[in-house]
Amino acid sequence: MLNLNNVNKIFICGIGGIGTSAVGRMFKGLGKNVSGSDIVASEITDGLLKEGINVVIGQKAENISANIGLLVYSDAVPENNAERLRAQELNIPAMSYFEALGLLTKQKKTIAVVGTNGKSSVTAMIGQCMIDAGMEPSIILGSLFPKIGANYRYGKSDWFVAEACEYRAHFLHLSPWAIVLTNIEEEHMDFFTNMAHVLSVYQAFINKIDPNGILIINRDDINIRKLRLPACKVFSFGASADADAQIKNLRHENGLQKFNVIFQGRDLGEFVLNIPGRFYLYNALAAITFCLAINVALGILKKAIADYKGIWRRFEMIKNDDIAVISDYGHHPTAVSGTIETLKQAYPLRRLVVVFQPHQYDRTKKLFKQFVESLQGADVLILPEVYDVAGREENKSVGSKDLAEAVKKEFGKREVYYCENLQQTVEKVNSMLRKGDVVLVMGAGDVYVISQNVNYDLRKRK
């Protein structure tokens, strides 16, 4: 096992990624000499340069010198990449982003947040609560978090809050002191063979918890109930009567969700959440439960939750004037239906235009029926072609056109449209907007650019 203390110079191949850039920043915070490369310049690479991390645009063998102590590569970088091959020739230790993240978790008291939905939001909420409590955590999550101005924060303490990824069992590289488990559903079925396989990998992960650590679980999740809980402190949240943390007296006032939290039979009083939706209530309750478990002061906890304004592409309000435009990362059927349901409740008298870009052909095919069901709440549905994930060999026999036809047939909907690309999608959206519309732009690919290009011109409308 590589001893990080003996490594000074680290090179990251594909440093412009959301995860690799965060790991690079964390290595720099630990005092390492960090540099890297990427294929194209971006806002992320520009930001790294400003922070003193040298980034080369273009990946070639001469970027790799013999004095590099560790090469970290993005999962998108193939084995035959010139930099990876040169590192092999020079006998430089190399590891993936997820292996590097695992190495970093050994240096800290790590809280891993994992589950099919809500990981980024719960990571951000816990991070915000711990920052406000003066606990100085390091934080890595898969989205941009306005509270810290990035997707990463280097903290002075041993606390480390990290979003963990279940795809290809990547989270098994981590060494968690604590785990916050939001839910478990069928997902990434291009890797997992069936639900039993999914559960076996999650079981292996929670078994890695430090015996003196903490496990937070969603008591309402039927699949989590199938897991054998490890010998550590376990706290649960949910609506179930046997949950440690429950929400009572929920009410909605002027766009706010107000509720009381009952923790182990004790009413902790009123909490306020600025973001609508049942999903966000669960996310908040997961974060609250963990923070109560580590004894964050109640007053600080309430204020931090009330001050939480969300993260990039998680129910992000882009504009709200003649029309409302919301950008969201949801790409699993449960997240899709939950977000649509939230908007129908928040704007009951307004037309909901949903622009949904399926993410990955394999997921679209294997969860096809669930996607059809999840999209039925849209008043107008626009489906650009599936986002093709680079580096994954996929059967492209089922795409967005099939999904559009199935939604029309199943629910008799007339306003369902298929678009071959994002340019067509922008044109379609802008051609049909009405004053008062709510536009939801959803998906994990590049569909978010649509939200920046929605253009409602009142002068051209009747």
* Backbone angles phi and psi of 241, in degrees to 5: -65, -25
Beta bridge mates, 327: 316, 441
C-beta separation of 195 from 186 below 8 A: yes
Distance CA 36, CA 63 (A): 9
pTM of the model: 0.79
Helices (H), 183-240: 195-206
Beta bridge mates, 257: 252, 273
pLDDT of residue 188: 64
Residue 122's alpha-carbon distances to 31, 139, 162, 289, in angstroms, are: 28, 12, 10, 11
Q: Which residue has the tokens 């559960």?
A: 199
The residues of the chain that CATH labels 3.40.50.720 are: 8-97
Token pair listed for 260: 């009381």
Helix (H) or strand (E) holding 29: helix 18-29
The residues of the chain that CATH labels 3.40.1190.10 are: 108-307
> 8-97 is classed in which CATH architecture?
3-Layer(aba) Sandwich (3.40)
Q: Name residues whose C-beta falls within 8 Å of residue 320's C-beta, 6 or more positions apart in sequence.
A: none
C-beta separation of 198 from 186 below 8 A: yes
The residues of the chain that CATH labels 3.90.190.20 are: 316-460
Distance CA 306, CA 128 (A): 11
| Residue 394 CB-density burial (10 A; 0-12 exposed, 13-18 middle, 19+ buried) | middle
Fold for the domain defined by 108-307: UDP-N-acetylmuramoyl-L-alanine:D-glutamate ligase (3.40.1190)
pLDDT of residue 459: 42
pLDDT of residue 351: 95
> 316-460 is classed in which CATH architecture?
Alpha-Beta Complex (3.90)
* Backbone angles phi and psi of 10, in degrees to 5: -125, 135
C-beta separation of 139 from 161 below 8 A: yes
Distance CA 329, CA 143 (A): 10
Residue-by-residue pLDDT tens, the chain, 462 positions: 688 888 999 999 999 988 899 999 999 988 999 999 999 998 889 999 999 999 999 999 999 999 999 999 998 899 999 999 999 999 999 999 999 999 999 989 999 999 988 898 999 999 999 999 999 999 998 887 888 887 889 999 999 999 998 877 889 999 999 999 999 987 766 677 898 999 999 999 999 999 999 999 999 999 999 999 999 999 999 999 999 999 999 998 877 899 999 999 999 999 999 888 888 899 999 999 999 999 999 999 999 999 998 877 777 888 888 899 999 888 889 889 988 988 888 888 899 999 999 998 988 998 999 999 999 999 999 999 999 876 555 678 889 999 999 999 888 877 999 999 999 999 999 999 999 999 999 998 889 899 989 887 644 544
* Backbone angles phi and psi of 139, in degrees to 5: -140, 135
CA-based radius of gyration for the chain:
22
Token pair listed for 187: 């997902």
Give the three-class secondary structure for 50: helix
Specify the amino acid at residue 349.
L
